[in-house]
Amino acid sequence: MSSGKRPLIALVTGAIFGFSAALAGGVLAEGPSAHDRDSSDTATLPWQEARLFAEVYEHIRHDYVDRISDQKLMDAAVRGMVSALDPHSAYLDSEEFEETRLSTMGSYPGVGIEVAADGSVVKILHAIQGSPADQAGLRAGDEIVAIDGKEVGSDVSGAIEHMRGVSGSTVTLSIRRTGTTGLMKFALRRAKVEVHSVSSQSLSPGYGYVRIEDFSDTTPDEVHAAVSMLQRDNPGGLRGLVLDLRDNPGGVLESGAAIADDFLNGGVILTAEGRTPDARFEMDATPGDLMNGSPIVILVNSGTASAAEIVSAALKDHGRALLIGHKTYGKGTVQTVIPLQYGGAVKLTTSRYFTPSGGSVQGKGILPDIVEDGPEHQPADVMTAKDAPSLQSRDAEVRLALTALQDEVHGRAVPGHLMKTVALSAPATLATDDQVP
């Protein structure tokens, strides 16, 4: 894949922030140099605007009903200035910057549990296999009452912050478990926890399913491993693949482009345009298709955004995959995370990207080839007991995707880019959003 030398590039939606794989090695984006800026840029703030800012600042300091520290006022001013640009630009303080960094690395030092607020308490949704929490016997449904003696309440963010820490250090959780009396205490030694963004399983002989939750630094390796496992589990050959990108908010741009490259033998994946040289680039696919040309169906919905839209558009435009579901989110901009001299960072929109056909998804999204009629449903949870009903029986869209793959293999496929509306029944089992400390 050809991308040229660029600063850290990321695509994000909502609370998901992304950076390039180079971040883990300490390479971060730099701001544009003076010769890269437009000639209209000035080195100093125009005096009238500076005077307006100073006047408002002083009124707030002296006249606002509550006393506000200068640090808090400046922080609010910077946040407002950046957030007013567009919905995806933001100022990140040091803690937010670190959280962003951890969210894209695919691993972090912690205890390895997925948690969520449930009314007035924080509940454990899942203990990651092999993690300190899993080894200690923590279970789904356990309530976290206190961490190191400090009550948690329903503060998920605070609980996550307190459970993360330096590998080898210890943290004590006070747990309330249904069916037991009193609180149970677990002393956990923090360790490196691997967070996986990819899950997979066989749907029927010769047909596989891969779900990508978001795009982190480790996602390409995880997809390679998932496809390899499916190929091993189907000795007769993998004749088709369902790639599930529903509710995938994006993440690391390079990871998204790498996944598109995995299923293409050549051609443009995306082009980007911006004001600085680093913001103008093209990414191209290289020879090699993990599926060796076997058909692919991509499941999308209104939560499919950013890097997930890059994958969807690239495979759709090159006629490599059929898209099924609902129209995607429509985020066609690129953010660069730029560290600041005194800590924190600014996440700034620096480019607009375009699909292989030359179009932009910004504000428009991608219309699938087969459009589901009716309300959207969350993807069924892949991680279930072995004796649970099959994924396709629990998820109507997966069932439709499997049928489309089988039709294509047998020469009965819906022609590429031919719109068709279908009505689907709701799945019986739904996935849940979660957070991982």
Architecture of the domain whose range is 198-336+347-423: Alpha-Beta Complex (3.90)
What value does the mean pLDDT take over residues 30-41? 40
Give pLDDT, residue 419.
40
Other Cβ atoms closer than 10 A to 66: 4
Q: Where do the domains of the chain lie?
A: 10-32+46-104, 107-194, 198-336+347-423
For tokens 């898209």, name the residue. Answer: 323
Give pLDDT, residue 377.
82
* Amino acid, single-letter form, for residue 277: P
| Band (156; pLDDT cuts 50, 70, 90) | confident
Give pLDDT, residue 43.
54
Question: Which of 12-16, 149-153, 306-310 has the highest mean predicted lDDT (pLDDT)?
Answer: 306-310
Give pLDDT, residue 303.
92
Q: CA-CA distance, 324 to 71, in Å (whole number)?
A: 49
Which of 306, 312, 316, 381 is catalytic? The answer is 306
Q: CA-CA distance, 105 to 103, in Å (whole number)?
A: 6
- Backbone angles phi and psi of 392, in degrees to 5: -65, -25
What value does the mean pLDDT take over residues 283-289? 97
Tens of pLDDT, residue by residue over 324-372, are 999 999 999 999 999 999 889 999 999 999 999 999 999 999 999 999 8
Indicate whether 381 pLDDT > 90. Answer: no
| Band (433; pLDDT cuts 50, 70, 90) | very low
| Band (37; pLDDT cuts 50, 70, 90) | very low
Give pLDDT, residue 314.
98
317 counts as catalytic: yes
Give pLDDT, residue 412.
61
Domain at 107-194: CATH code: 2.30.42.10
| Band (385; pLDDT cuts 50, 70, 90) | low
**Whole-number average pLDDT of the chain:** 82
Give pLDDT, residue 383.
64
Tens of pLDDT, residue by residue over 40-81, are 454 566 788 888 989 999 999 999 999 999 999 999 999 999
User: Is the pLDDT higher at 99 or at 56?
Assistant: 56
Which of 317, 369, 381, 395 is catalytic? The answer is 317
Tens of pLDDT, residue by residue over 207-227, are 999 999 889 889 999 999 999
Q: Poorest-confidence range of 24-28, 149-153, 295-299, 384-388?
A: 24-28
Tokens of 296: 């692919």
Indicate whether 9 pLDDT > 60. Answer: no
User: Is the pLDDT higher at 83 or at 165?
Assistant: 83
Q: Poorest-confidence range of 33-47, 80-94, 269-283?
A: 33-47
Tens of pLDDT, residue by residue over 178-212, are 988 899 999 999 988 777 889 999 999 999 999 99
Tens of pLDDT, residue by residue over 119-128, are 888 998 878 7
Which of 197, 216, 312, 331 is catalytic? The answer is 331
| Band (405; pLDDT cuts 50, 70, 90) | very high
Indicate whether 3 pLDDT > 50. Answer: no
